[in-house]
């Protein structure tokens, strides 16, 4: 996780903030009379000047996240509750407002406000807070301005509405599969802590660097669990299995350049997307499989996820439906190794142009 807002705590006064008539050098106690030496900002500097606080930041990929902040009303402003406050706006590089809210605190203790922000593309954006209410040097107090993004979760999945961060997908979201738009039936996740990885190295993710599968694929580094299967397209596969395209677990691909087990032991969350059929979806542009319900894949889920799936999709779990129909052939282990070794030896892309 990373906070895109620097010095949103005002521990460093006005550092990293721009705008006009900033008031960031006082403590909570100065405004709220609570004895706290925590530094805060007041959204009303001098009488006659409208306070504006701004900070620009860079977003690396389209992502849905939320801006959060703590706001209170200065004790001396309590008689103006509901009018003193500020607006919060997120502007794109062209100055268009992509998200906004008004914050009008009513008490002299902090409450958290939250604004959902859907960044449509990578680029530079600006957060702007503008004073509301009488311009009288009394106003709302703000602190802990935060815009968290998580790079480990930030895998982008192609949906009917364009690429979306996997952690924002919910059952019903229409995903763009190789077969066209398909509604997601279920999405499960399993978070793995650094301590769990230290105990069991098999929980470490496989990292696929940008371009490691083929030109521009994936479009940015992709982290998946070891057994997560990626689509491979190769003449070698055609020769070995009679088909250009097969599914190979990520761990087998670590024999190729730019694909390796990431032993940084940073916390990671694995997602499992379930559709009516086994589908090929696009993760950071790279074709990879949805959850194929087998005894082995079920066992890899958390007990709670297993129980949920069994309740929601009894047909699927009992094996009375298509649970053994995979979207592509899955070669036996020894032949997976052989395939990847030959692709590496021939210096071909794992996703070759056929
Ligand atoms: Ca603070
Ligand atoms: Ca003012
Ligand atoms: Ca005011």
Amino acid 120: pLDDT: 86
For 177-232, write each residue's pLDDT tens digit.
999 999 999 888 888 888 988 988 888 999 999 899 999 899 888 999 888 899 99
> What is the domain-level CATH number for residue 219?
2.170.16.10
Closest ligand to Cα 48: 2
* Distance (Å) from CA 73 to ligand 2 centroid: 14
Q: Specify whether the CB–CB gap between 4 and 57 falls below 8 A.
A: yes
CA of 65 to the centre of ligand 3 (A): 30
CA of 12 to the centre of ligand 1 (A): 9
Q: Are residues 160 and 247 in the same domain?
A: yes
Q: 137 C-alpha to center of ligand 3: Å?
A: 5
Q: From ligand 3's centre to the CA of 28, what distance in Å?
A: 17
**Residues of the domain holding 202:** 151-346
Which range among 45-49, 57-61, 170-174 shows the weakest confidence by mean pLDDT? 57-61
Q: Is residue 97 part of a domain?
A: yes
> pTM for the whole thing?
0.58
Q: Residue 268 pairs with which residues in a beta bridge?
A: 192
Give yes or no: residues 86 and 217 share one domain.
Answer: no
Q: Which ligand is nearest to the CA of 40?
A: 1
Q: What whole-number distance in Å separates Cα of residue 47 and Cα of residue 231?
A: 63
* Residues bordering ligand 1, an ion, CB closer than 5 Å: 9-10, 38-39, 143
CA of 229 to the centre of ligand 1 (A): 46
Q: How far is the CA of 75 from the centre of ligand 2 (A)?
A: 16
Ligand approaching nearest to the C-alpha of 51: 2
Verify that 23 and 126 share a domain, yes or no.
yes
Looking at the domain assignment, is residue 1 inside a domain?
no
8 Å CB contact between 244 and 234: yes
pLDDT tens column, 28-44: 999 999 999 999 999 99
Phi, psi for residue 284 in degrees, rounded to 5: 50, 40
Let me know whether 35 and 102 are in one domain: yes
Report the C-alpha gap between 5 and 332 in whole angstroms.
49
Q: What is the mean pLDDT of residues 240-259?
A: 95
Give CA–CA dist 291/155, Å, rounded. 16
Rounded percentage of the chain residues whose pLDDT exceeds 70: 94
- pLDDT at site 73: 97
Tell me, yes or no, whether 351 lies in a domain: no
Q: Which ligand is nearest to the CA of 45?
A: 2
Mean pLDDT to the nearest integer, 271-283: 91
**Is 3 inside a domain boundary?**
no
Structure tokens belonging to residue 196: 């769990």
Domain boundary (131, 146, 161) is at 146
Ligand with minimal distance to 21 CA: 2
**Which ligand sits closest to the CA of 79?**
3
Q: Are residues 181 and 48 in the same domain?
A: no
Number of folded domains in the chain? 2
Q: Is there a single domain that holds both residue 63 and residue 18?
A: yes
| 235 phi-psi bin (left φ>0, alpha ψ -120 to 50, beta other) | alpha
Distance 39 CA to ligand 1 centre (A): 4
CA of 82 to the centre of ligand 2 (A): 16
Looking at the fold, whether 172 and 270 belong to one and the same domain comes out as: yes
End position of a domain, from candidates 146, 176, 205: 146
> Which structure tokens are listed for 279?
């589908």
Mean pLDDT of 72-94: 96
Whether residue 209 is contained in a domain is answered as yes
Residues 166 and 313 in one domain: yes
| Residue 91 CA to ligand 3 centre (angstroms) | 24
Tell me the CATH number at 33: 2.60.120.260
The pLDDT assigned to 151 comes to: 44
ω into residue 218 within 30 of 0, thus cis?
Answer: yes
The rounded Å distance from CA 76 to ligand 2 centre is 15
The predicted structure's pLDDT at residue 318: 53
């Amino acid at each position: 996780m990373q906070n895109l807002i620097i010095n949103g705590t005002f521990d460093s006064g006005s550092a990293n903030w721009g705008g006009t008539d900033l008031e960031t050098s006082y403590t909570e106690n100065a405004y709220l009379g609570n004895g706290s030496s925590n530094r805060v900002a007041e959204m009303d500097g001098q009488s006659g000047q409208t306070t504006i606080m701004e900070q620009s930041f860079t977003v690396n990929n389209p992502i849905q996240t939320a801006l959060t902040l703590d706001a209170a009303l200065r004790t001396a402003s309590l008689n103006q509750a509901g009018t003193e406050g500020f607006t919060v706006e997120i502007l794109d590089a062209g100055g268009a407002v992509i998200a906004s809210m008004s914050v009008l605190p009513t008490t002299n203790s902090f409450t958290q406000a939250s604004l959902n922000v859907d960044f449509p593309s990578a680029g530079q954006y600006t957060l702007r807070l503008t004073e509301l209410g009488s311009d009288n040097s009394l106003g709302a107090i703000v602190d802990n301005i935060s815009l968290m993004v998580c790079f480990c979760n930030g895998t982008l999945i192609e949906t009917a509405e364009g690429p979306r961060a996997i952690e924002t997908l919910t059952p019903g979201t229409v995903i763009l599969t190789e077969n066209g738009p398909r509604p997601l039936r279920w999405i499960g996740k399993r978070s793995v802590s650094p301590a769990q990885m230290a105990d069991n190295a098999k929980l470490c993710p496989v990292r696929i660097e940008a371009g490691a599968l083929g030109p521009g694929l994936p479009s940015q580094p992709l982290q998946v669990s070891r057994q997560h299967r990626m689509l491979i397209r190769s003449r070698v596969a055609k020769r070995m299995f009679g088909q250009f395209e097969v599914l190979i677990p990520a761990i087998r691909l670590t024999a190729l350049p730019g694909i390796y087990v990431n032993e940084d032991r940073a916390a990671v969350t694995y997602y499992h997307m379930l559709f009516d059929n086994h589908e090929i979806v696009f993760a950071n542009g790279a074709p990879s499989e949805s959850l194929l319900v087998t005894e082995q894949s079920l066992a890899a889920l958390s007990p709670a996820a297993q129980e949920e799936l069994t309740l929601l999709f009894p047909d699927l779990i009992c094996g009375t439906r298509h649970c053994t129909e995979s979207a592509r052939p899955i070669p036996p282990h020894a032949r997976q190794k052989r395939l990847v070794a030959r692709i590496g030896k021939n210096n071909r892309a794992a996703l070759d142009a056929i």
